[in-house]
């Protein structure tokens, strides 16, 4: 069998189908691009399918000299509403921001001081599967209005690569502190009942303190920091984790048919965020080692070494759905299928549950003779 023809790289980062000339799109779950019209598949050349390289954090001081873009000749758009800068395939017309849905978008020149991604985590499933996951998600939840489960209409799903930085470091901590252990003694006291004194006893809690010290060491691998301006808020954290071990070296073909956002969090700032996550985790681990029922004067000194970083693009499906004239956002992790989003609440159901709980408490109190 003859080897498949190489895709024709046409203007604006398009890859043309050799059979019909249409734009190829990355086929989720494979290492190939597929024509959405005739179905012809073309393998993506992957010289190395091992893990993407990592770089010393010390190299971040060299930023500003590198001229990069996510993909050659891609078109950049900037959203005036949320500030996200996305790169979209040439030949595709953007009418709204994939992150916030705003139609206040303007063309923008490609940035000239960005680190090009070292790796990509490919989409594991297509838009149709993402839609099915949305349907399953919207139908769950007792407090969601019944109507939204039946009538919510979804806007177009955007397959978008979101910028992340991953950071590694070896943490070595020395700690000391006081661990407190609770113990109890019986105490006698006097109360007056009907004008007469009565002796009673009660348990009194005390703390026995003990100084302890020790060490803790851990290697932190691929601590994730989202570098997107378009994705902010608590939903982003709920979308994680991603399996970064599945990342493959970056190629332009992996982005075929999808959008991608340029990072807006400086990687040096990203390192500070990642380092703080490591320090917080070290403190929690040292606290666990200190033990006791309660603690005080915990001091932790942590040294980070062997720090490395890399820039990855991670797969996210972005979309919104309409309900009673309002747009509600949701996202799907393009690797794991995790769905997070906003949903309306049926307050009548909430009040009904609150009323039932209050009623049950009143009944129990009456039976117990409280009132």
Phi and psi at 71, nearest 5°, equal -155, 145
Give the integer Cα–Cα distance in Å for 341 and 331: 6
Give the integer Cα–Cα distance in Å for 209 and 292: 9
Please give the C-alpha separations between residue 207 and each of 189, 202, 273, 286, 293, in angstroms, as whole numbers. Answer: 21, 17, 37, 21, 9
For residue 122, give every residue at least 6 positions away whose Cβ sits within 8 Å of its Cβ, in sequence order, or none. 26, 28, 29, 31, 246, 248, 254, 315, 335
Given this model, what pLDDT does residue 69 score?
45
**Tell me: the pLDDT tens digits for 288-319?**
999 999 999 999 999 999 999 999 999 999 88
Checking if the pLDDT of 75 tops 60, the result is no
Given this model, what pLDDT does residue 222 score?
95
How high is the mean pLDDT of the chain?
Answer: 79
Instruction: Please check whether residue 258 is in contact with residue 159, taking contact to mean a CB–CB distance below 8 angstroms.
Output: yes
Given this model, what pLDDT does residue 252 score?
84
Kindly report which listed range (56-60, 86-90, 208-212) carries the lowest average pLDDT score: 86-90
Checking if the pLDDT of 3 tops 50, the result is no
Number of helical (H) and strand (E) elements in the chain, helices listed first: 5, 18
Q: Tell me the mean pLDDT in the region 191-211.
A: 92
pTM of the model: 0.75
**Tell me: the pLDDT tens digits for 239-252?**
999 999 999 998 88
Given this model, what pLDDT does residue 144 score?
66
Whether cis (ω within 30° of 0) applies to the bond prior to 254 is no
Of 109 and 9, the structure prediction assigns the larger pLDDT to 109
Structural domain spans, the chain: 1-45, 46-173+214-349, 178-210
Burial per residue of 132-158, b for 16 or more beta-carbon CB atoms within 10 angstroms, e otherwise: ebbeebbeeeeebbeebeeebebeebb
Q: Tell me the mean pLDDT in the region 196-210.
A: 93
**Tell me: the pLDDT tens digits for 273-294?**
999 999 999 999 999 999 999 9
Given this model, what pLDDT does residue 115 score?
82
**Tell me: the pLDDT tens digits for 323-357?**
777 777 888 999 999 998 877 665 666 566 677 67
């Amino acid at each position: 069998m003859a080897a498949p023809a190489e895709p024709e790289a046409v203007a604006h980062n398009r890859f043309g189908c050799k059979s019909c000339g249409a734009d190829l799109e990355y086929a989720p779950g494979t290492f190939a691009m597929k024509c959405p019209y005739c179905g012809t598949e073309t393998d993506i050349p992957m010289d190395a399918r091992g893990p993407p390289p990592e770089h010393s954090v010390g190299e971040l001081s060299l930023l500003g000299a590198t001229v990069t873009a996510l993909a050659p000749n891609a078109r950049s758009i900037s959203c005036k509403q949320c500030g996200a800068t996305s790169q979209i395939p040439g030949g595709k017309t953007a009418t709204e921001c994939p992150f916030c849905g705003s139609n206040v978008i303007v063309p923008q020149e490609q940035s000239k001081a960005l680190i090009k991604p070292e790796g990509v985590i490919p989409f594991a499933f297509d838009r149709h599967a993402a839609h099915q996951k949305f349907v399953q998600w919207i139908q769950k939840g007792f407090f969601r209005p019944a109507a939204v489960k039946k009538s919510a209409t979804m806007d177009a799903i955007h397959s978008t690569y979101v910028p992340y930085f991953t950071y590694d470091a070896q943490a070595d901590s020395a700690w000391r502190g006081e661990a407190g252990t609770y113990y109890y003694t019986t105490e006698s006291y006097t109360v007056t009942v009907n004008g007469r004194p009565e002796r009673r006893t009660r348990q009194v809690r005390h703390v026995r303190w003990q100084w302890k010290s020790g060490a803790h060491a851990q290697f932190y691998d691929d601590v994730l920091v989202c570098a997107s301006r378009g994705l902010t808020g608590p939903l982003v954290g709920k979308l994680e984790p991603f399996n970064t071990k599945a990342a493959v070296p970056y190629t332009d073909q992996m982005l075929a048919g999808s959008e991608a956002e340029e990072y807006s969090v400086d990687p040096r700032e990203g390192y500070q965020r990642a380092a703080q996550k490591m320090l917080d985790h070290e403190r929690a681990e040292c606290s666990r080692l200190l033990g006791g029922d309660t603690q005080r004067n915990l001091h932790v000194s942590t040294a980070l070494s062997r720090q490395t970083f890399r820039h990855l693009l991670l797969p996210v499906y972005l979309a919104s759905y309409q309900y009673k004239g309002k747009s509600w956002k949701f996202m799907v992790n393009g690797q794991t299928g995790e769905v997070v989003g906003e949903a309306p609440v049926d307050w009548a159901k909430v009040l009904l549950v609150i009323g039932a709980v209050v009623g049950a408490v009143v009944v129990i109190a009456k039976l117990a003779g409280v009132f």
